[in-house]
Amino acid sequence: MTSVIFILAAYLIGSISFAVLTSKAFGLPDPRTFGSKNPGATNVLRTGKKLAAALTLLGDGAKGWLAVFLSQHLAPAYGLDETVVAAAAVAVFLGHVYPVFFGFYGGKGVATALGILLALNPWLGLAALVTWLLAARLWRISSLSALIAAGLAPLYALALLDAGVLVAAVAVLCVLLIWRHKSNIQNLLSGKEGAIGKASH
């Protein structure tokens, strides 16, 4: 029963949509109604409000980190092992993607996934972030950078994490993240995906 509470708490933390809340605070349109209709930092940035986008990015990343951090530090006190930490990592990501507070319509999970990776192992998160930055520098396409980072993150996890269950959790996160980018993949294949700093077609 305690395990369920940890997992449910992680899901509820993930269900807090900072894109929607930040947009309301700044008097911006609901990010689910314009651009890519994705409630994430990239779409908030399309309004021209860099601070709102930055706060969205920070909030979405922080909630992923927080859910895993809490499970790592509280689970042992209840006799729970890394399986609960792995489940919490997946749960907070699912909360972001399918938030109960916002009609189960959430973001694609890049920032939240990064926060999760940083909590699991700072070097793991850093490796994924550097991969994203290098890919963005080369191709100037945010979604492509995220897909490349997601493809390599399980390999980084295999090298840096001791517990197989945590590696499996990272793999699940990355598969989900790639699946959430299916429309971006279609645009990439057809040459219609917008570059960073430009509106998508």
Tell me the torsion sign for CA atoms 67, 73, 75, 78. negative
Predicted model pTM: 0.95
Question: Using the 8-state DSSP alphabet, how is residue 40 labeled?
Answer: S
Pairwise CA distance, residues 193 & 189, whole Å: 8
Q: What is the pLDDT of residue 198?
A: 61
pLDDT at position 36 is 86
Say which residues have a Cβ less than 8 Å from residue 136's Cβ, sequence separation at least 6.
142, 145, 196
Q: CA 100, CA 94: separation in Å to the nearest integer? A: 10
Give the SS3 label for residue 175. helix
Contact 106, 99 (CB under 8 A): yes
Averaged pLDDT in 10-residue chunks for the chain of 201 residues: 95 98 97 93 93 97 98 95 97 98 96 98 98 96 96 98 97 98 95 73 39
Contact 116, 176 (CB under 8 A): no
Give whole-number Cα distances, 183 to 34, 53, 56, 86, 168, in Å: 16, 22, 22, 28, 25
Q: Give me the residue label for tokens 């269950």.
A: 165
Q: Which pLDDT score, from 0 to 100, does residue 183 have? A: 94
Per the CB < 8 A criterion, the answer to whether 188 and 165 are in contact is no
DSSP calls for 86-129: HHHHHHHHHHHHS-GGGTT-----HHHHHHHHHHH-HHHHHHHH
